[in-house]
Structure 1
């Protein structure tokens, strides 16, 4: 049988200025590393066929499947605050779209599939390490319940790419609600092509916000919808200690998914100023800065939409500012509600926000592990607090806070076991620890050994389960295992 993708190609039906038609560059000897079988089934694909040599050839870009309409999407973007009028898919090619089993339209894109007209002197390829990192982290984010692009497959190409040295080449098959970004709107706005901005906005509304189609002011509602989704998304990032690393406008998805896992990382010890990305020298995208940057990016989107709001500039600006003004409250509401769940509060009372902030301050001062502190706090709801207080350099700091916390939870009717279960449902035991991800990459790159990768992916698929057999995966790094910087991999 032949591998069949039931493609529908709505984006490539837009005007030619929205993309460049380009086929993936064939590779020498594609070999499947990992197929996400549950996701394949969700997409209506046959995983058994995708695991054949024919399937590997498609997933590596060596063969273009029937019905595909390969394109590289055009977009611009602010990179670390500096505007670049043309970026685009420099190493990714959208094969097409499928309707999944829930009736949702999903992009299928090859990342690392060769040069495109947007490559800007790049080779269009991806090294094995960044492909494995994106597979691991994006699927971990999905298991954590955070909106994200997904990874369908990772394929090694049989060729090398040149970075600082020669590295094994690979291709990631990425699945997304779409790959439309704030930067996509900026591409047309920078060219003063208002009709293209309108065409793009209409496409986004139909695809992502269909409930807005018949409203009197659909473009205002579109901005409000994107603001709400981004506020919720970034709150969820902070609640699991995630740092995106490169929150440029070209990495900000209109659908509200986490996209473009480059130098991303999860914190070990809690530090609001934590930065891992080697290129974020000024800390623009530090952990605690992410809400502010999200709003900055949304403001750039609003600027693109102003001509659709009103012919009167001042009126359009005032309307956009009013919509953007909702971000702070929306983010705060999502973040504070999430924090209350993390510390086991079922109700909201005066003083809760200060109580939780006191915990975070003590964690920062005592270099407490972000993930384990909250996980062990769930256990402290029913038994001794030893594991939780052990996260603190000065355990007395936890003891003082825990006394106030116990007095607060005593005001609620829920029992200790119910509270523990609720806390464990939102506080993961397992995250993609940076040292674990790096160890997996080194085993694959240096030894062609994918057993550690398979095991880590398996553990991270159930982040809220105790999994005693894999307890070591929850451990923070030893001093000599700490990863201080992460890299884009381009």
Structure 2
């Protein structure tokens, strides 16, 4: 018996040059790690059916669900600023799309499903570590209120994956509003395929931005979503780690959790990714990189706008709106983090002053801001004098606020997917123990609620627990 899912596959109906038809490659012995019951129900799927042998076979790629039209998507991209004219889904298969009861369309993709025509020299597989990482991080981001791809399920394959050594293999079932990227547009722009660019732009507008008319309005809409997304990342201390153009989703979702990390000690130049040797994607650089990526997107749309002076000027003006949108959203989010609901001209300087003190002492980002609500923030500073000076001005500022503590508790999580906790779950899963993975997911599913039994998960790492480098995992 084959699992049946209610697919309606709009991307598969696009011309053949948008994708390569490709079935998943079966694995030796699939085993269930987790099914995300709440997400399955949101998608109109039966979580119990996904946990049956037929469901696990489909999640592993051993059978193709009824109604699926599996394919690998074509795209290109700038990787660390270097142009790569063809990338594409080298280890991911889009099974199809489902439409929720609310009319929301969602991709269902198997990541680690075997070689495709875009794999280059890769094996198309995923080791268990990157699958565990993406499941934990993407679901934590969703719980934190960040637009993101989601994890529907994870399964083991019963086969080794060879990286530096043999590792257990796994497959992640990823859900996204779509997997269309800036790099998807770049793929066709580089080939001077104006027809494909027009088809793609119309598809994106219909799917993500209904009511928008024309490529310039599309650029405006994408710019707004990206500005708000990056501001949200910054407010939580999240570092994506690999903001290549093929990792910027046109939908405005966070996509691809490779060498990502959350800050422990705060500094704007903090980098975790082992492949980001020059700090291109450091925490404080993320807004500037987003603008750079949007400029590449704009250049792809110019042929649809008429690549003359007025079109270039209009596209530049659209992208130049990013800083103001970003700053306004950043200030709104950080005001809430310090308990402010109103607006005064000095607020930006007040917030910047706290961040400067934190950077100077490598103070824990999450614990300082959560500590403002609990009265424990001073404990995060080795030298409390600068913070106490700041705190006096801050208390004067929030004196007239109706309920600053409630505002701060709603804005500042107690629990984030700290790097050492994620690595702990990965190590255990690699050895076949998924209990730390399940426990961490449960803690992170309610990030804003203090719970005595979970207090250890709110702690910063000890010096010997710190994770200073994260890895892509491909």
Please give the TM-score of this superposition, normalised by the length of structure 2: 0.99
Runs (4+) of structure 1 exceeding 3 A deviation are none
Deviation digits for residues 200-236 of structure 1 (CA, Å, limit 9, x no counterpart): 0000000000111xx4xx2110000000000000000
1:349 to 2:344 alignment: yes
Match among 262, 270, 274 for residue 266 of structure 2: 270
Deviation digits for residues 40-72 of structure 1 (CA, Å, limit 9, x no counterpart): 111111111111111111000011011100000
Q: 1:486 & 1:419 partners in 2: Cα distance?
A: 36
Deviation at 1:453, TM superposition (A): 0.5
Q: 1:318 & 1:46 partners in 2: Cα distance?
A: 50
Query: Is 1:276–1:484's contact at 8 Å kept on the other side of the alignment?
Result: yes
Deviation at 1:350, TM superposition (A): 1.7
Q: 1:12 & 1:342 partners in 2: Cα distance?
A: 43
Q: 1:196 & 1:34 partners in 2: Cα distance?
A: 38
Instruction: Provide the residue aligned with 2:277 in structure 1.
Output: 281
Deviation digits for residues 160-194 of structure 1 (CA, Å, limit 9, x no counterpart): 00000000000000000000000000000000011
SS in structure 2 of the partner of residue 188 of structure 1: helix
Instruction: Provide the residue aligned with 1:98 in structure 2.
Output: 98
Instruction: Provide the residue aligned with 1:396 in structure 2.
Output: 385
Deviation digits for residues 278-310 of structure 1 (CA, Å, limit 9, x no counterpart): 000000000000000000000000000001112
Instruction: Provide the residue aligned with 1:384 in structure 2.
Output: none
Question: What RMSD, in angstroms, separates the aligned Cα atoms of the two structures?
Answer: 0.8
Give unpaired runs (5+ residues) of structure 1. 381-386
1:30-429 aligned within 5 A: 30-212=30-212, 215=213, 218-310=214-306, 312-380=307-375, 387-410=376-399, 412-414=400-402, 418-429=403-414
Q: 2:363 & 2:401 partners in 1: Cα distance?
A: 30
Q: 2:162 & 2:362 partners in 1: Cα distance?
A: 38
Deviation at 1:103, TM superposition (A): 1.4
Deviation at 1:421, TM superposition (A): 1.2
SS in structure 1 of the partner of residue 200 of structure 2: helix
Between the two proteins, the alignment pairs up a number of residues equal to 474
Match among 449, 454, 479 for residue 463 of structure 2: 479
Compared with structure 1, are the counterparts of its residues 196 and 367 closer, same or farther at alpha carbon in structure 2 (3 Å cutoff)?
Answer: same
Deviation at 1:2, TM superposition (A): 5.5
Deviation at 1:195, TM superposition (A): 0.9
SS in structure 2 of the partner of residue 301 of structure 1: helix
Q: 1:475 & 1:158 partners in 2: Cα distance?
A: 35
Q: 2:296 & 2:104 partners in 1: Cα distance?
A: 28
Query: Is 2:91–2:112's contact at 8 Å kept on the other side of the alignment?
Result: yes
Q: 1:101 & 1:372 partners in 2: Cα distance?
A: 39
SS in structure 2 of the partner of residue 49 of structure 1: helix
Deviation at 1:413, TM superposition (A): 4.4
Question: Which has the larger displacement, 38-47 or 133-142?
Answer: 38-47
Q: 1:300 & 1:235 partners in 2: Cα distance?
A: 20
Q: 2:40 & 2:401 partners in 1: Cα distance?
A: 44
Q: 2:310 & 2:295 partners in 1: Cα distance?
A: 16
Instruction: Provide the residue aligned with 1:489 in structure 2.
Output: 473
Q: 1:400 & 1:3 partners in 2: Cα distance?
A: 62
Q: 1:366 & 1:277 partners in 2: Cα distance?
A: 22
Q: 1:206 & 1:52 partners in 2: Cα distance?
A: 35
Query: Is 2:2–2:63's contact at 8 Å kept on the other side of the alignment?
Result: no
SS in structure 2 of the partner of residue 211 of structure 1: coil
Query: Is 2:341–2:401's contact at 8 Å kept on the other side of the alignment?
Result: no
Q: 2:308 & 2:20 partners in 1: Cα distance?
A: 33
Query: Is 1:24–1:62's contact at 8 Å kept on the other side of the alignment?
Result: yes
Deviation at 1:101, TM superposition (A): 2.8
Deviation at 1:419, TM superposition (A): 1.5
SS in structure 1 of the partner of residue 33 of structure 2: strand
Query: Is 1:2–1:49's contact at 8 Å kept on the other side of the alignment?
Result: no
Deviation at 1:313, TM superposition (A): 1.9
SS in structure 2 of the partner of residue 170 of structure 1: strand
Question: Which has the larger displacement, 314-323 or 432-441?
Answer: 314-323
Deviation at 1:102, TM superposition (A): 2.1
Q: 1:39 & 1:284 partners in 2: Cα distance?
A: 34
Instruction: Provide the residue aligned with 1:383 in structure 2.
Output: none
Q: 1:11 & 1:342 partners in 2: Cα distance?
A: 40
Query: Is 1:432–1:460's contact at 8 Å kept on the other side of the alignment?
Result: yes
